Structure 1
């Protein structure tokens, strides 16, 4: 085994990662309760989770899962096209389509699987995909897998997008996130919609970090801006504000029917458990309710406090309302050191480094939850100042 590893230079690759400050390792938690996590007798306030509404460990979630397991048991046993499709899946997909205002929806095992199944199923070698430079890795990988010509425009650069649309060949798909996962800023969706309409392109919007947090009933940024009916492909996850796992694509009935027949990550994956679909439907109803509205108000209020905190430290906040706040550090080694100091102070904020973000733009990605409190934000501010001063 050692000889084979040397042949492939695995040891050298690992040493290089360490030398560049890009080494990563798994750190299993013993317990996660709300925004508090514990392991090996230590405890931290978690500012790195995407559980924006604080639903993952809620009583409502536990009850929904228990009810689903009692009713449906464990695994689904097969892929959706074999014998793994259940009424619970259909009910969730009908509810998601109603939520997003589309004719139909299809659920996948993850948000990554949605992208990998959807884009190659719709686009091919004669087509063009135009992506925002900061689009999520799943969208980039899916575009590459499709075989289409790929064009990239600088982040939120509308003039470049328009020039690319003018010269694009074949069927044209514009791809963007609504709230960007690493920067927390918003896409200019109204302008992007106008451009895609002008040139007859389709538009895919990944609302992973906006659904549940923004818009009427938590339907996302496109709905908040009133352009949701002009988005052709609505992609989202069920693992962030929803607090569970999975992903979905909401679109026309014809598009969903095509995905059922061509999306390889859907066709060749075992269906998500029936009880998971049941629980997600319960949580979707909660997100659309007055309780969901109250949770949105809580997380956005906490996010504003955190925005103000960073502003007081001279850190510019990203435009748009979101629960993601990046603190750009720069060099990966310094970001690792600041993250480590915060961990010693009782705050869990792992640093984000290349290749997730560009070299030289390593950062702390602070994410907020409805379960965070004002005193916790104040304490974070003090710990951040001390960690940054120590590094200076």
Structure 2
């Protein structure tokens, strides 16, 4: 009898199912870069430059000189790491300044920065300790894991379907007075490119006295007149109890945040284990995120991104592809996983990085390529992407 874990065999099984993943280093995080196959413990052998249409660096700020200088200034003036939990000695004036800016952009009393968006979701759900969570079926893994850890019971409702949410809440309405209920949804869904109907979700929640928590990971800095996200764009800021987001996507840094009422933030900094027992966000990340937020709010990057999105969506649909959603994430549905893999390879052969997304991440028969343009892609880059997809689609017999 053995009490081992048979990790080698588990990896073989993933390989047999086509689910084995590898780390493929990039030379930089720009919209155009060189990539290498997984070098293991060796030196990366980079290929020719390729256009990246797969990153969450939506505003193209990760290699922006202003953001880099802000990170450098923070490292030189404060340090490269916080050195401790923020409840010990890891709290700095830079963390506080970033949180004030985030709260202002979200229209809330206060914000709190976590080490990652994942930590924020898990920590908040665990700290709130809801009796019942009503969760959209396509919510991010961090929400799913937060529910596993922190919720007594999780009820999954149909994707972006407030009517189904209302039915499921009505079915247990007799328990509403004695239980704490939390409705959880992403605002922009990363694999379908659509956005949650927050007003209708709030209607259903308010009928039962439930709180609403929204994860703005893919909307922060991108959606809304002030980059405040879908909550801001749909005019429901005063109806959402907990707003979350990340600093690692459009804001080009690292970390996550929670925004809401003063009492919520004070409670979380005392009770959220992923905050209390984690070293504070590194000052360079805080400095970079703060500058990126300023650029997102004051500059023209958002407008340039949406111009690229419109041009790319129109071109893909004109070529005959099915493109989901209505946001800056453009999922091109292919169907069978093998066809998606073939299309991704054919597109890559033409210098465009847009990996295939396969089951179990998406439903069987709905494999896709997830395209994410950046504000820094020029017209030539968008045209090259469209040409690559049209030629590759024809080559693979998909058009």
Fold match, TM over 0.5? Answer: yes
TM score, norm. by length of structure 1: 0.93
Q: Which residue of 1 aligns with 2:356?
A: 351
Q: Which residue of 2 aligns with 1:64?
A: 70
Q: Which residue of 2 aligns with 1:16?
A: 13
The change in CA–CA distance for 1:15 and 1:389 in structure 2 (over 3 A counts) is farther
- The answer to whether the Cα contact below 8 Å between 2:30 and 2:62 also exists between their aligned partners in 1 is no
- The answer to whether the Cα contact below 8 Å between 1:30 and 1:38 also exists between their aligned partners in 2 is yes
The 5 Å alignment of 1:90-239 reads: 90-124=96-130, 127-166=131-170, 167=172, 169=175, 170-239=179-248
- The answer to whether the Cα contact below 8 Å between 1:32 and 1:38 also exists between their aligned partners in 2 is no
Task: Report SS of the residue matched to 1:218.
Answer: coil
Q: Which residue of 1 aligns with 2:306?
A: 300
User: What do residues 289-345 of structure 1 show as CA deviations (whole Å, max 9, x unaligned)?
Assistant: 1x1xx111100010001110121133344343x210001223323322221222111
Task: Report SS of the residue matched to 1:194.
Answer: helix
TM score, norm. by length of structure 2: 0.91
- Indicate yes or no: 2:374 matched with 1:369: yes
- The answer to whether the Cα contact below 8 Å between 1:34 and 1:57 also exists between their aligned partners in 2 is no
CA displacement at 1:4 relative to structure 2? 7.8
State how many pairs are aligned. 383
Task: Report SS of the residue matched to 1:248.
Answer: strand
The change in CA–CA distance for 1:80 and 1:349 in structure 2 (over 3 A counts) is same
Q: How far, CA to CA, are the matches of 2:82 and 2:222 in structure 1? A: 30
CA displacement at 1:233 relative to structure 2? 0.5
Q: How far, CA to CA, are the matches of 1:18 and 1:105 in structure 2? A: 43
Q: Which residue of 2 aligns with 1:333?
A: 338
Higher relative contact order (CA 8 A, sep 6+): 1
Q: Unaligned 5+ residue runs, structure 2?
A: 37-45
Q: How far, CA to CA, are the matches of 1:359 and 1:8 in structure 2? A: 29
Q: How far, CA to CA, are the matches of 2:31 and 2:354 in structure 1? A: 15
How much is the aligned-residue C-alpha RMSD, in angstroms?
1.8
